[in-house]
């Protein structure tokens, strides 16, 4: 009875069998989840590619005696055979263009669907929800025809434009905007704000959780594209880093030291991106999608 009067969150329980099991399982899961990533970072700092593999089975995988950035120097060029600097730049360009265009275009559409006055909005909305079922993989072959007939093969445009507008993100924005109070919208129109202004200066600043969620989801998607760039890029010009790293596997024996350094290069930007947005992300993510 007394603990009912307290807030729903109880103070930490005393140490008992249950809590010990709980702590051990968190620790084990953390070990399984994190140690491979940690190993990757450590290995990328080791110079000797044979030592990397030899160290892997022991605790030496988690320790490096004399860390060196040689591997990064070797792969980080902007031209030549190991031009991962260039591939990284390409991927960053694709990431930022896709996400920034995507945030604007999908949120504008979501806003009009939620608060606009155009006839047929309900129809467009249900069409968009239906489109969500189509997997990217199942349209990729005809998309290849369209994009290459348009003369866009081996360009950045071909890797950005098709993925900017998305049924899922338009719907997420629609859902977020629709649950904001009506008074907000009415106050803006009484003040004589245009609908564009209402979207940009009233609703967008209030949409940080939605913006963060869509940014992270779109960012991960754009950063990790693999199949599409393989089909559409033929030269280094617009090749993203994911495709470049995969070429390590085509060789007879893999240069693990270089592959590890290139992988770390690929992880760092998305890690920064994630850490910047994750505060809003975890709280808002798919709380909405589960309902929908």
Partner 1 sequence: MSALTIPPKRRRRSIITRVGWPRFLQEIGMLAPAVVLMTVFLITPFLLSFWTAMTNQPLVPRPTPVRFVGFNNFLRILSDDLFWTSLWNVTRFTLWVLPVQCGLAFLTALILNQKLPFRNLFRGMFFLPAITSMVVVCVIWGTLFQYPTGPLNQILASLSGGHIQPIDWLGDPNWAMFSIVLLSAWQAYGFQMIIYLAGMQGIPDELYDAARIDGAGRWGRFWHVTMPGLRPTHVFVLVITTIQAFKLYTQVAILTQGGPKSSTETVVHYMVRAGFEEQKLGYASAVSVILFLIVLVIALIQRRLMRRFDV
Which residues, numbered 63-102, are part of the site for partner 1 (CB under 8 A)? Answer: none
What whole-number distance in Å separates Cα of residue 103 and Cα of residue 176? 13
Residues 145-164 that bind partner 1 (CB under 8 A): 145-146, 161-164
Of 20, 26, 178, 208, the residue at the interface with partner 1 (CB under 8 A) is 26
Of 114, 210, 212, 270, the residue at the interface with partner 1 (CB under 8 A) is 270
What whole-number distance in Å separates Cα of residue 216 and Cα of residue 286? 12
CB 247 within 8 A of CB 173: no
Closest distance to partner 1 from the beta carbon of 84 (Å): 12
Closer by beta carbon to partner 1, 68 or else 157: 157
Residue 254 lies near partner 1 (rule: CB under 8 A): yes
Closer by beta carbon to partner 1, 12 or else 79: 12
CB 112 within 8 A of CB 179: no
**Exposed / middle / buried, residue 24 (Cβ in 10 Å: 0-12, 13-18, 19+):** exposed
100 token code pair = 């920034």
Q: Measured between alpha carbons, how far is residue 241 from residues 160, 167, 234 in Å?
A: 15, 27, 14
Of 92, 93, 144, 184, the residue at the interface with partner 1 (CB under 8 A) is 144
Residues 106-135 that bind partner 1 (CB under 8 A): 106, 108-109, 111-113, 116-119, 124, 128, 131, 133-135
Closest distance to partner 1 from the beta carbon of 232 (Å): 11
Residue 290 lies near partner 1 (rule: CB under 8 A): yes
Q: Between helices 84-115 and 167-178, what is the axis angle to 10°?
A: 50
Region from 71-79, 80-88, 202-210, 261-269 binding partner 1, contact rule CB under 8 A: 261-269
CB 146 within 8 A of CB 231: no
Region from 77-85, 177-185, 201-209, 215-223 binding partner 1, contact rule CB under 8 A: 215-223
What whole-number distance in Å separates Cα of residue 260 and Cα of residue 217? 25
Tell the residue number behind the tokens 């977020």, with chain if given.
176
Closest distance to partner 1 from the beta carbon of 69 (Å): 18
231 token code pair = 């089909």
Residue 4 lies near partner 1 (rule: CB under 8 A): yes
Residue 255 lies near partner 1 (rule: CB under 8 A): no
CB 248 within 8 A of CB 258: yes
One character per residue 28-57, x = contact with partner 1 (rule: CB under 8 A): -xx-xxx-xx-xx--x--------xx--xx
State the Rg of the chain over Cα: 24
What residue spans of 118-194 are helical by DSSP H?
121-131, 136-149, 157-160, 167-178, 182-190
Of 2, 9, 80, 252, the residue at the interface with partner 1 (CB under 8 A) is 9
Region from 9-17, 68-76, 77-85, 92-100 binding partner 1, contact rule CB under 8 A: 9-17
15 token code pair = 């140490």
Of 126, 196, 208, 237, the residue at the interface with partner 1 (CB under 8 A) is 196
């Amino acid at each position: 009875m007394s603990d009912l009067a307290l807030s729903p969150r109880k103070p930490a329980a005393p140490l008992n069998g249950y809590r010990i099991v709980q702590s051990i399982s968190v620790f084990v899961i953390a070990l399984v989840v994190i140690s491979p990533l940690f190993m990757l970072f450590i290995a990328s700092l080791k110079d000797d590619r044979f030592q990397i593999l030899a160290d892997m089975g022991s605790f030496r995988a988690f320790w490096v005696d004399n860390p060196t950035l040689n591997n990064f120097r070797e792969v980080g060029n902007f031209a030549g055979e190991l031009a991962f600097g260039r591939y990284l730049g390409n991927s960053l360009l694709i990431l930022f263009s896709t996400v920034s265009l995507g945030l604007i275009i999908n949120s504008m559409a979501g806003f009009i669907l939620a608060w606009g006055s155009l006839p047929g909005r309900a129809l467009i909305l249900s069409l968009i929800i239906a489109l969500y079922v189509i997997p990217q993989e199942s349209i990729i072959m005809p998309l290849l025809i369209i994009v290459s007939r348009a003369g866009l093969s081996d360009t950045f445009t071909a890797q950005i434009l098709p993925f900017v507008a998305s049924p899922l993100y338009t719907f997420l924005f629609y859902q977020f905007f629709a649950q904001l109070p009506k008074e907000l919208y009415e106050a803006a129109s009484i003040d004589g704000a245009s609908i564009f202004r209402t979207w940009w200066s009233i609703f967008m600043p209030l949409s940080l959780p939605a913006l963060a969620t869509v940014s992270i989801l779109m960012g991960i998607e754009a950063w990790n594209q693999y199949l599409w760039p393989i089909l559409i890029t033929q030269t280094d010009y617009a090749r993203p880093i994911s495709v470049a790293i995969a070429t390590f596997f085509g060789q007879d024996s893999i240069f693990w030291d270089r592959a590890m350094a290139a992988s770390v290069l690929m992880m760092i930007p998305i890690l920064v991106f994630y850490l910047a947005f994750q505060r809003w992300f975890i709280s808002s993510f798919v709380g909405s999608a589960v309902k929908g």
